[in-house]
Amino acid sequence: MAENTMTIDQSEASGRVAAGLRRTPGAHLAAEMAEVGERSQGDVTLRELSFPVQLGLRARPGSASATALEGVLGAPLPTGHGRVTGDQDGMHVLWLSPDEFLAVDLSREQVPGEGRDLEDALEGLPGQVVDLSANRTVLDLSGPRVRDVLDKGCHADLHPRAFEVGTAIVTQLGLVPVILHRYADSGYRVYPRASFADYLVRWLLDAAEEFCHEEIP
């Protein structure tokens, strides 16, 4: 028993050390992202969120599996395209397809073993829970000119009548497939694959450049 306890303690300690060494996919561009907010005087702010929890879920809404997952999440699974349920600044769930969802928790950073409570809830039931926290990074954009920046390369209609607050869709930004979530009037979160983070951050920096200069009359 003591040996097992020691092994667990050593594993947790190793996990903490590894967590302290990890870097987000766009960390090398953090200074440039912060500079955009300063140079545009807040018209466009851009930052990368630090390792938010992202869990891929598969279950049919209304089924026993969905009920089990909802009991742990504390929010219902969305039932239609673009829907988002839960706390958009904490734990919330994005609709990806009729039986596929992405649960995101912005209130804390991902740790090893994420989703075990949801896996336990599905014991004996059809469905799936996968920790996808390392699959995508999350870029947060805010400010009165952010929609103008996104409109330069987004394949979706971002007008408020078509893309209201609390909507999330799978689309494309520039050349990159992304999930785009409008969480506030002038606030958007962009989810690119981690391998596309460098390209997309540089694309956004370039698209925001015009708002970093005074307009010439």
Domains and CATH numbers, the chain: 26-49+137-217 (3.30.1360.120), 51-133 (3.30.70.1520)
Predicted model pTM: 0.88
Task: State the first-to-last Cα distance of the chain, in angstroms, to the nearest integer.
Answer: 76
In the prediction, which pLDDT does 214 show? 72
pLDDT digits (tens, 9 = 90+) for 101-115: 999 999 999 999 999
C-alpha dihedral sign at 43, 206, 36, 162? positive
Asked whether the beta carbons of 82 and 99 are under 8 A apart, the reply is no
Nearest of 1, 96, 115, 144 to residue 54 by alpha carbon = 115
Distances in Å between the Cα of 198 and the Cα atoms of 27, 30, 90, 136 are 9, 11, 26, 12
Count how many Cα atoms sit within 13 Å of the Cα of residue 131 in the half-sphere of its side chain: 15
- The parts of the chain modelled with pLDDT lower than 50 are 8, 11, 17
In the prediction, which pLDDT does 5 show? 53
Nearest of 102, 90, 92 to residue 58 by alpha carbon = 102
